[in-house]
């Protein structure tokens, strides 16, 4: 009988992860009695059980935030230390972990090795692919106990919960303003530095955040991948679709604590609250006039500069506001999108509200200057108003 070959003395077991070689495949697995997930190490099962029990034994000594496993705490500590030991050799940008750097490098190479088997769209990392797959499956395993809204990731749910609790853990070091989301703080911080590091390669316009640039880029490509199932209208991002869906459902989840008025967007509530407080945080650097909304300030500044950035593609006429351009374009197209449900008459602008009063005889505006005595006293005032 010939002696066994050298290769036959080794186990043929192959694996993609080196950590799995620590335990032989025929060894007994450790199963979770709550969700039946199995692990090949008892320590991994112990860590997993904390997700069910809510235990977070590893606490940050700086801010008090807790984690279910030690690796999460180590990663978090780098947020305080500012340590980013992994740098991109192409652009010099630094990252907290090597895995984030690996994903970033694919921006330069254009590599997207994770394709969706349903629609063929490719992604730079597996996590992005898994998130994308939920669009096809509709799966949202993490639900809010307050409003029932579902989310793809647990981190998204945790961020959403702050809307109900009004927790704002991210504060600006310059002005002290607090934010619910870290990305909101990042965008806000650039208002102090005036830094706009993200530039559009098509038109050169710069933005404070990467997400703002990505949304802007869709203007050039005319890409609107998110469509409303009720009316078919398309949108450039999922958030705009979500807001639009509330026009169909009538949902207004953001309520004013002073008067109880509801709003479909949190930003609308923020602006509304200023009608009670009188706050006008946006000031003109030329004349000092204050405004309650940034858009009003932007429009006002153009009265000083004479800028009219929105041009009609048909006649070349320019306008200071995109909304005015939209109304103007209807003079060429003849579009009248606002229709009266009573008589069917259509309007190119939002004059429908005024028109409806001809049917209801509603008269909400009264002249405060007219005396409330007899007609002879009123007549001179009426003549004044007519002129």
Work out the pLDDT band at 6, boundaries 50, 70, 90: very low
User: Tens digits of per-residue pLDDT, 304-341?
Assistant: 888 888 888 889 888 888 888 888 888 888 888 888 88
What is the structure's pLDDT at 5?
44
Residue 334 falls inside a structural domain? no
Q: Is the pLDDT of residue 27 over 60?
A: no
Provide the residue range defining the domain that includes 265: 226-277
Work out the pLDDT band at 367, boundaries 50, 70, 90: low
Q: Is the pLDDT of residue 156 over 60?
A: yes
Residue of 110 and 26 predicted with greater confidence = 110
Q: Is the pLDDT of residue 294 over 70?
A: yes
Residue 312 falls inside a structural domain? no
Q: Is the pLDDT of residue 93 over 50?
A: yes
Q: Is the pLDDT of residue 183 over 80?
A: no
Residue 242 falls inside a structural domain? yes
Q: Report, as an integer, the average pLDDT of 259-268.
A: 87
Q: Is the pLDDT of residue 277 over 70?
A: yes
- CATH number reported for the structural domain that contains residue 82 in this entry: 3.30.160.60
Residue 102 falls inside a structural domain? yes
Q: Which residues are CB-contacts of 306 (< 8 A; sequence separation ≥ 6)? A: none
Residue 78 falls inside a structural domain? yes
d(C-alpha 319, C-alpha 309), whole Å: 6
Domains in the chain: how many in total?
A: 2
What is the structure's pLDDT at 292?
86
Query: Which of these three, 63, 86, 111, is where a domain ends?
Result: 111
Work out the pLDDT band at 8, boundaries 50, 70, 90: very low
Residue 182 falls inside a structural domain? no
Residue 266 falls inside a structural domain? yes
Q: Answer yes or no: are the C-beta atoms of 186 and 170 closer than 8 Å.
A: no
Mean pLDDT of the chain: 78
Which of these, 54, 32, 33, 51, lies nearest to 41 by C-alpha position?
A: 32
Query: Which of these three, 244, 277, 310, is where a domain ends?
Result: 277
d(C-alpha 100, C-alpha 267), whole Å: 31
At 119, list the tokens.
Answer: 């629609």
What is the structure's pLDDT at 145?
85
Q: Report, as an integer, the average pLDDT of 12-27.
A: 51
Residue 198 falls inside a structural domain? no
Query: Which of these three, 111, 134, 166, is where a domain ends?
Result: 111
């Amino acid at each position: 009988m010939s002696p066994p070959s050298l290769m036959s003395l080794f186990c043929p077991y192959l694996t993609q992860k080196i950590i799995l070689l620590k335990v032989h495949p025929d060894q007994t697995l450790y199963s979770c009695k709550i969700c039946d997930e199995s692990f090949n190490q008892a320590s991994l099962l112990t860590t997993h059980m904390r997700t069910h029990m809510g235990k977070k034994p590893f606490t940050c000594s700086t801010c008090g935030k807790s984690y279910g496993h030690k690796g999460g705490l180590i990663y978090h500590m780098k947020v305080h230390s500012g340590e980013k030991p992994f740098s991109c050799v192409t652009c010099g940008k630094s990252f907290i972990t090597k895995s984030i750097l690996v994903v970033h490098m694919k921006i330069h190479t254009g590599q997207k090795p994770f394709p969706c088997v349903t629609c063929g769209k490719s992604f730079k990392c597996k996590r992005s692919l898994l998130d994308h797959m939920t669009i096809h499956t509709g799966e949202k395993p993490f639900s809010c106990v307050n409003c029932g809204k579902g989310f793809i990731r647990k981190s998204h749910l945790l961020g959403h919960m702050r809307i109900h609790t009004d927790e704002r853990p991210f504060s600006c070091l310059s002005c002290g303003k607090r934010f619910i989301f870290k990305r909101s703080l990042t965008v806000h911080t650039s208002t102090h530095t005036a830094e706009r590091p993200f530039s559009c390669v098509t038109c050169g316009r710069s933005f404070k955040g990467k997400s703002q640039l990505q949304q802007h880029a869709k203007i050039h490509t005319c890409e609107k991948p998110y469509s409303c199932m009720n009316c078919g209208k398309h949108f450039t991002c999922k958030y705009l679709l979500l807001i639009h869906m509330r026009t169909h459902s009538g949902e207004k989840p953001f309520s004013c604590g002073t008067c109880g008025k509801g709003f479909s967007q949190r930003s609308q509530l923020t602006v509304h609250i200023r009608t009670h407080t009188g706050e006008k945080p946006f000031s003109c650097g030329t004349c000092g006039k204050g405004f309650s909304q940034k858009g009003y300030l932007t429009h006002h500044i153009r009265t000083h500069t004479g800028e009219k950035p929105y041009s009609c593609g048909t006649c070349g006429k320019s306008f200071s506001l995109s909304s005015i351009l939209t109304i103007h374009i209807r003079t060429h197209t003849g579009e009248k999108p606002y229709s009266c449900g009573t008589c069917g008459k259509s309007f190119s602008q939002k004059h429908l509200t005024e028109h409806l009063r001809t049917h209801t005889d509603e008269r909400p505006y009264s002249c405060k200057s007219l005396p409330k005595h007899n007609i002879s006293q009123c007549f001179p005032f009426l003549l004044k108003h007519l002129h």
